[in-house]
Structure 1
Amino acid sequence: MDIDAFIAAHRQAWDRLDHLVKNRSSLTGAEVDELVDLYQRVATHLSIVRSSAGDPLLTGRLSALVARARSAVTGAHTPAWRELVRFFTVSFPVVAYRARWWWLASGLAFVAVSWAIGAWVAGNPDVQASIFTEDEITQLVEHDFADYYSENPAASFAGAVWINNAWVSALMIIYSVLLGLPIPYALYANAENVGVSGGLMASRDKLDIFFGLIMPHGLLELTAVFLAAAVGMRLGWTVIDPGPRRRVEALAEQGRAVMSVALGLVVVLFVSGLIEAFVTPSGLPTWARVGIGVLAEAVFLTYVIVFGRRALHENETGDIERAPDVAPTA
């Protein structure tokens, strides 16, 4: 084979392919088709050169060109660290931010119910007597409530708390398959527990101890639970109101977004567990312990608002790229 003639006949195609590969991020539909066609033709040229010409320089040049074109056509694998960074800067915060009104409503409803139950318990001795005996209330108020946070080694307690809170949040998300209907009841049950405990502590003038022990970790912990409840109920509502999309597409997108929240909350609840195990029972002054809880809450909310709002303005949904159940359309 005349190598010079072969180069002269096909150089233009090779140069054109090189140009398309370098500008692959801004190609039109016709240029994408041309890129695929040229990739196949140049791959054939490489095969011919390897079997006939034996020119190492030309073989190397075409091999490199075909490899870059293959990457452009088939797509390159994104490094795991970039996927991780994208998850925490886009996927998780934007899903949380998009559910902000459901999130806020869940939190306000929880606080209102807890406060109402707490006030009812604190102001009615008959209600207190129906819950515990006088000796049991004294034991709870004077010892058990505070001892709960320090009776086990901090490391094992942190692990147990993390697992328990993650399970509660997971249940909120699992309930979404039932249209989210059990979620309000689950929130009410937790609000009732908090309200009863707070009411009993308030009845013995121990409300300062109650808030001093529950706020350092409780702010972040309950915020995570409210978020899980919010996205679960939002997924259930998608069945009723899918918006402009087909219902199956809306459910698939929202379902994958819910899984993003489930994964993100693992980290949030881990931080909450560490605070509950190491800060809540510590010897720090109450203002310092509560301050750490408030700081953790502020950092988390700021993170969601800043990154979530930015991602939303960039039309991100938190869904995976090139979702398999959505066909490309022109």
Structure 2
Amino acid sequence: MDADIIISGGGVAGLSAAAIFGDAGFRVICVDPAPPVTERDVEGSDLRTTAFLQPAQSLLDEAGLWARLAPHAEPLQVMRIVDAGGEVSEPRIIKEFDAGDISEKPFGWNLPNWLLRREMVAHLEGLETVEFRPGTGVSSLFTREAEARVGLSDGSKLRCRLVIAADGRNSTVREAAGVPVKTTRYGQKALAFAVTHPIPHEHVSTEIHRSGGPFTLVPLPDYDGRPSSAIVWMEEGPEAMRLKDLPEAEFEAAMNERSCLLFGPLKLASRRTVWPIISQVAERMYAERVALVAEAAHVVPPIGA
């Protein structure tokens, strides 16, 4: 065997799996056709964020990865839901849920996806059991009861005991394994970007609901000395594309109206990215010698995460 486990996908899920299995002593090879983008303000960086809830944080801690992530993690202490429906974009009903009511820890910890990739890749470099091959993808899959044989885009062929599909909603491994998916499209898109604001978020994640979809502000560490949040703004597809292409001043005016100014005037602090909103579920989350994880197994809209 060339490895115990071959992981297809070098995103947050694939790199997490590589760190966890590598720390457990398994020989892991992780591949991804595209080198990970590990800088915030370059083309192709993923400006979405990932919230690690308590069980996920504990798992990463056991694997020795959390110590590297903790300095960059923003606690999610309070979940605030705001009804801002009606003709005017202003709060009508506000409900807050505090993690302190049920636990000594926050609900979770939020980190930007581009930063997670940077820190996870750096962590894997210190694991003798893990080999990360960015720029190389899976091109073929052949399985039997005893093993899997994986062909890579560089022409090499590897044998392993398990293949993990962490290669996203359009998973090459899932397709090669013959696992069908059911996809639902909602006609919505999500704008993802970062902002700064004068009023500190105080570790509060805020969802502001109106027609078109929620406008969610998730706490980030300060940026350029100012409080900062990541925003996921869901809208009907054409409206989301219109907003993305607005001049910056007009876009800021629109997002400030939509935010109800709960954190004061928002200032755009990154480029704007757009993501399609779909639900997708694999018929099963495994095949012979194959396991599906993350978006290769199931995709949920941000509001359902």
- TM class by shorter chain equals under 0.3
- Which structure has more relative contact order (CA 8 Å, sep 6+)? It is 1
Higher gyration radius (CA): 1
TM-score by length of 2: 0.20
The structure whose residues are more often helix, as a share, is: 1
Larger strand proportion of the pair:
2
